Amino acid sequence: MTNIYMDALSRLDKAFSFAHIETEAITKLKHPQSILQVSLPLRMDDGSLKVFTGYRVRHNTTRGPGKGGIRFHPDLSLAEVQALAFWMTIKCAVVGIPFGGAKGGIVVEPKLLSRLELERLSRAYMNAIADFVGPDKDIPAPDVYTNAMIMGWMMDEYSKIVRKSSPAIITGKPIPLGGSLGREEATGLGGFYCIQELANKNKWNPKSIRVAIQGFGNVGQHIASILYENGYKIVAVSDSQGGVFRSEGLDIPSLIEVKKSTQKLRAVYCTGSVCEESNAEKVSNEELLALEVDILIPAALENQITKLNADNIKAPVIVEIANGPITLEADDILLKKNILIVPDVLANSGGVTVSYFEWVQNKAGFYWTLKEVNQRLEEIMVREFDNVYKIMQKNTIDMRTAAYVHALNRYAEAVASQGTQEFFDKITG
């Protein structure tokens, strides 16, 4: 186990003393339920053969079937997948949906594959894990460098294997294939609801709140767009190549339009079909993290804020839209600086919540309107944000620990329903 997984598990020990949970329940959470590693031979377009490695980890199913995304990334490791699966267990408990945690992925640089190679690899992965997953066992979803179309391919492959239409096997699918309205923007929208709750509690005027967003992929673009539409001043965004900063605020719709058409991040202002360069400074990802803003939103990959750069963080509020963007050591440094961190297991849980909605709709064969989806999402996010906030205030602890306490209490109730040592001691005593 590498540091990322050990870091993830160490959060449990910090929350244990504040939760109503027995030691044996914590012990179960420290061990993944099952791990699958597969080899995926792929015939490339030039006729050559390459073999890719895939993983699927099911962390805990005490509260329901496993739920978690599929990630395509060249640096993916088993330890990373284990950590992500663990976070999914906690995340599902935080928002109170009846799932456990799971995660999967392939070690691959998807940008180097043709579209046909990408489809063949996606189908090969589902073929290899088909006995390990299922609508009532483990339900995958999109994650880094996967999307609705890839989920559609995987659903189709699984349906062929089991000889029946199985839309509930996977979420984040295209709408015509059983996807849910609102799923694509759900992670960003869930994060926005958390920010709005902070705004209500602190009586913020959105127009005066400066925001920097690290990561401008699907999730980063959605939360940037939602915040922009609601009057927040987005002064900086970045992707893997670097970023742009403009103290007066960036024109987010134009940035998104140019990014999608050119795959480059340039500060522009568009009117109709005409886009002009805007005056903006170029910044690196490191420089963006250190900007003097009111809210910093890491929306990229794990371990972006570490002990090496945590002292440089000036934002009084961090909202974690990425999974695990702050290391354990950095967490301690930031808390000593009285920085409020809205943790990933709460802030980015909008995605898994609407994935749950999609699964429910697939099971029922009845589909909701976008208004219904967003209303249900807002109700859950506001309720659980308030629950976590109250635990934080009651125990005088940080918000991450409070979220874990909230999750552990829900998990403990499920464990206790099956019997713990205390229960069996009463019978034999």
Question: Do 131 and 198 fall into the same domain?
Answer: no
Domain of 147 in residue numbering reads as 31-167
Question: Do 214 and 339 fall into the same domain?
Answer: yes
Query: Which pLDDT belongs to residue 330?
Result: 94
Tens of pLDDT, residue by residue over 28-71, are 888 999 999 999 999 999 999 999 999 999 999 999 999 999 99
Question: Do 259 and 207 fall into the same domain?
Answer: yes
Query: Which pLDDT belongs to residue 258?
Result: 81
Among 137, 167, 197, residue at a domain's last position? 167
Least confident among 97-101, 237-241, 285-289:
237-241
Query: Which pLDDT belongs to residue 240?
Result: 80
Least confident among 39-43, 115-119, 245-249, 271-275:
271-275
Question: Do 230 and 203 fall into the same domain?
Answer: yes
pLDDT at 271 > cutoff 80: no
Q: What is the end-to-end Cα distance of the chain in Å, rounded?
A: 39
Residue 363 lies in a domain: no
Question: Do 317 and 259 fall into the same domain?
Answer: yes
CA 331 to chain centre: 18
- Residue count of the chain, please give it: 429
Tens of pLDDT, residue by residue over 384-429, are 999 999 999 999 999 999 999 999 999 988 887 766 656 555 555 5
Query: Which pLDDT belongs to residue 2?
Result: 45
Query: Which pLDDT belongs to residue 26?
Result: 85
What band does 270 get if pLDDT is binned at 50, 70 and 90?
low
Stretch 345-362: mean pLDDT, rounded? Answer: 97
Question: Do 160 and 201 fall into the same domain?
Answer: no
Nearest 10 degrees: Cα torsion 275, 281, 284, 286:
-130
Query: Which pLDDT belongs to residue 268?
Result: 65
Residue 85 lies in a domain: yes
- Mean pLDDT score of the chain: 91
Question: Do 227 and 301 fall into the same domain?
Answer: yes
Tens of pLDDT, residue by residue over 312-348, are 999 999 999 998 899 999 999 999 999 999 999 999 9
Among 291, 320, 347, residue at a domain's last position? 347
Q: Is 8 exposed, middle or buried (0-12, 13-18, 19+ CB in 10 A)?
A: buried
Query: Please, which residues have CB within 8 angstroms of residue 381's CB and are 6 or more apart in sequence?
Result: 95, 190, 193, 194, 197, 349, 350, 353
Residue 1 lies in a domain: no
Contact 57, 67 (CB under 8 A): no
What percent of the chain has pLDDT above 90? Answer: 76
Among 320, 347, 374, residue at a domain's last position? 347
Distance CA(290)–CA(189), nearest Å, equals: 25
Q: Domain of 213: which CATH number?
A: 3.40.50.720
Instruction: Describe the crossing of helices 370-395 and 78-95 by its angle, rounded to 10 degrees.
Output: 90
What band does 1 get if pLDDT is binned at 50, 70 and 90?
very low
Residue 79 lies in a domain: yes
Tens of pLDDT, residue by residue over 90-136, are 999 999 999 999 999 999 999 999 999 999 999 999 999 999 999 99
Q: Domain of 48: which CATH number?
A: 3.40.50.10860
Residue 91 lies in a domain: yes
Residue scoring higher pLDDT (39 or 264): 39
Query: Please, which residues have CB within 8 angstroms of residue 58's CB and are 6 or more apart in sequence?
Result: 32, 33, 34, 35, 66, 85, 100, 101, 102, 132, 138
Stretch 137-166: mean pLDDT, rounded? Answer: 96
Question: Do 219 and 341 fall into the same domain?
Answer: yes
Q: With CA atoms as reference, report the closest residue to 126 among 141, 110, 109.
A: 141
Residue 49 lies in a domain: yes
Question: Do 160 and 206 fall into the same domain?
Answer: no
**In sequence order, what DSSP letters do the residues of 369-390 get, joined into one string?**
-HHHHHHHHHHHHHHHHHHHHH
Nearest 10 degrees: Cα torsion 313, 315, 321, 327:
30
Count: domains in the chain:
2
Query: Which pLDDT belongs to residue 18?
Result: 87
Stretch 73-97: mean pLDDT, rounded? Answer: 95
pLDDT at 72 > cutoff 70: yes
Residue 279 lies in a domain: yes
Distance CA(422)–CA(25), nearest Å, equals: 12
Least confident among 27-31, 250-254, 360-364, 419-423:
419-423
- As annotated, the active-site residues are 103
pLDDT at 250 > cutoff 70: yes
Stretch 217-241: mean pLDDT, rounded? Answer: 93
Question: Do 208 and 250 fall into the same domain?
Answer: yes
Element (H, E) at 23: helix 23-29
pTM over 0.75: yes
Residue 276 lies in a domain: yes
Question: Do 273 and 162 fall into the same domain?
Answer: no
CA 235 to chain centre: 23
Question: Do 161 and 210 fall into the same domain?
Answer: no
pLDDT at 275 > cutoff 70: no
